[in-house]
Amino acid sequence: MRPRNSTSAGDDKIDLQMTPMIDIVFQLLIFFIMTFKIVAQEGDFSIKMPLAPASGPPNPNQLPPIQVRLTADGSGELAGIQVGSRPLGRDFGALRAEVLGIIGNDRGPGSIAENTEVELDCDYNLNYEYVIEAITHVSGYTQGGNVVKMIEKIKFARQRPAG
């Protein structure tokens, strides 16, 4: 009997088994599609609130804080904004303009914006979204896609009683 010649032209083509690979690839694809979830980006507003006042000598350049008062109606909706003793209605744009009027356009180290702090005094039942809205409007604004920072030091005033 003549042995089969393995180098003959008809045996050159090696058939790869594609089916298991395609199976696993599709399973992977289904896994990724099922676990895919569009999540909006999240960001933070940093606040530093030590219980005890900072030790060491106070910063001589530190300006008195800008008092922002946020009042709520019975259902937790915003009733009014007040900067110092000046009422601004419910307009957050006016809050930003007021803060800009105080700090001016000077930015950078040693500027008024850097040495000024905002103190938020909010009603107990005010919906938290208005606090974030207020923080957003005192922290800065976007101009042509760039963020222009205003005040970065933000703290809460003493908590108001419920009711």
26 is an interface residue for another protein by CB under 8 A: yes
Please give the residues from 117 up to 146 whose contact with another protein meets the rule CB under 8 A. 122-133, 135-136, 139-143, 145
Minimum Å gap between C-beta 110 and another protein is 23
Q: Give the closest residue to 96 by CA, choosing from 69, 62, 136.
A: 136
**Does residue 105 belong to the site contacting another protein (CB under 8 A)?**
no
Q: Can residue 162 be called a binding residue for another protein (CB under 8 A)?
A: yes
Q: Show Cβ contacts of residue 53 under 8 Å, excluding neighbours closer than 6 positions.
A: none
Structure tokens at 118: 């905002």
Residues found in the chain: 163
Nearer to another protein, 1 or 18 (CB): 18
Distance in angstroms (rounded) separating the CA atoms of residues 122 and 136: 15
By the rule CB under 8 A, 40 interacts with another protein: yes
The pair of structure tokens assigned to 81 is: 């904004």
Stretch that binds another protein, among 48-56, 57-65, 97-105, 110-118 (CB under 8 A): 48-56
Token output for 136: 């957003």
Please count the CA atoms within 13 angstroms of the CA of 65 that sit on its side-chain side.
Answer: 15
Chain residues binding another protein by CB under 8 A are: 18, 21-22, 25-26, 28-29, 32-33, 35-37, 39-51, 70, 72, 76, 122-133, 135-136, 139-143, 145, 147, 156, 159-160, 162
